[in-house]
Structure 1
Amino acid sequence: MDTAELVSEEEDIRESLTIILSTIPGERVMDPEFGCDIHHHVFEEMSFTVINHLKEDIRKAVLNYEPRVDLTGLEVGVNEDHDARLDIILEYKVRATNSRSNMVYPFYVNEGTNISFE
């Protein structure tokens, strides 16, 4: 495997993780279980309990739908600049190469703020 293939594989993994976190279970007709159930937490007040539920939903989704990685760290916190956004920070190890990587997924818990109907 050359360097270009490794980079392409890592980009593919990032895209896969984004798709998993963005997809609501039931959204895919042919695979209704696919996705991550974090979207039912939209509009909830963020508490320690809710954040732990989010983390558990994320861990299960990554375990079930991205077999190329091992999740090594997971943080969920309110973004300092946007209080309606949680930053989900995934740290993972790519199994094939044993390389470590991370990504930040922005999750908006209060969708539709500052909308103007003019």
Structure 2
Amino acid sequence: MSSPTSSQLKRYERLGQGLGQPIVPDDAGRLPLVAGPEKVRQAIFTILDTEPGERVMRADFGCGLRRFLMAPNNPATRAGIEREIAQSLARWEPRVQVIAVRVSPTDERATVLIEIHYAHVLDGRQDVLVYPFYLEQA
């Protein structure tokens, strides 16, 4: 794998940097740091994992996927999940342009796979994030 060029590093800096997730110290006691496309990817995970009302100072932040818990794994539920994700990412993640959100059933009736295809607004670089979502608690 080749190392990033100077211009790529500058673009990555504009994508942001900060604490990585999960926030767990390594063996030396340092907290994980991430930058660039990985920081954006983790921000998308944060949006998906956060329910509106969880954050005191930003009560409307998040995606609201938990409202689909215990919903049937049918086309209407999957379409609702797709719509909710597309709207939340458009609102909360300005560093990406969502190309497509696909929610597909799996062999387990209570599990769907969420595929988010997006492009970085900064340079057009495309990426895919796959997120399993469980409609029922195990």
TM-score grouping bracket, smaller chain normalisation: 0.7 to 0.9
Q: C-alpha distance in 1, partners of 2:74/2:95?
A: 31
Amino acid of the structure 1 residue aligned with 2:102: E
Who is 1:105 aligned against? 131
How high is the TM-score relative to the length of structure 2? Answer: 0.74
Is 1:90–2:116 an aligned residue pair? yes
How high is the TM-score relative to the length of structure 1? Answer: 0.86
What is the RMSD of the two structures over their aligned residues, measured on CA atoms? 1.8
Q: Computing the radius of gyration over CA atoms, which structure comes out larger, 1 or 2?
A: 2
Who is 2:8 aligned against? 2
Following superposition, the deviation at residue 74 of structure 1 comes to 1.0
Is 1:29–2:35 an aligned residue pair? no
Which of 66, 81, 100 pairs up with 1:54? 81
Stretch of structure 1 that moved more, 42-51 or 63-72: 42-51
Following superposition, the deviation at residue 2 of structure 1 comes to 3.4
Count of paired positions: 111
Identity of aligned residues (%): 26
Following superposition, the deviation at residue 108 of structure 1 comes to 1.0
Q: C-alpha distance in 2, partners of 1:73/1:47?
A: 19
Which of 66, 74, 80 pairs up with 1:39? 66
1:26-53: CA deviations, max 9, x gaps?
0001001000022111011122111111
Q: C-alpha distance in 2, partners of 1:83/1:11?
A: 31
Following superposition, the deviation at residue 84 of structure 1 comes to 2.2
Q: C-alpha distance in 2, partners of 1:14/1:31?
A: 20
Following superposition, the deviation at residue 75 of structure 1 comes to 0.5
Q: Which runs of 4+ in 1 moved over 2 A?
A: 1-8
Name structure 2 gaps, 5 residues minimum: 1-6, 13-33
If asked which structure has higher relative contact order (CA below 8 Å, sep 6+), I would say 1
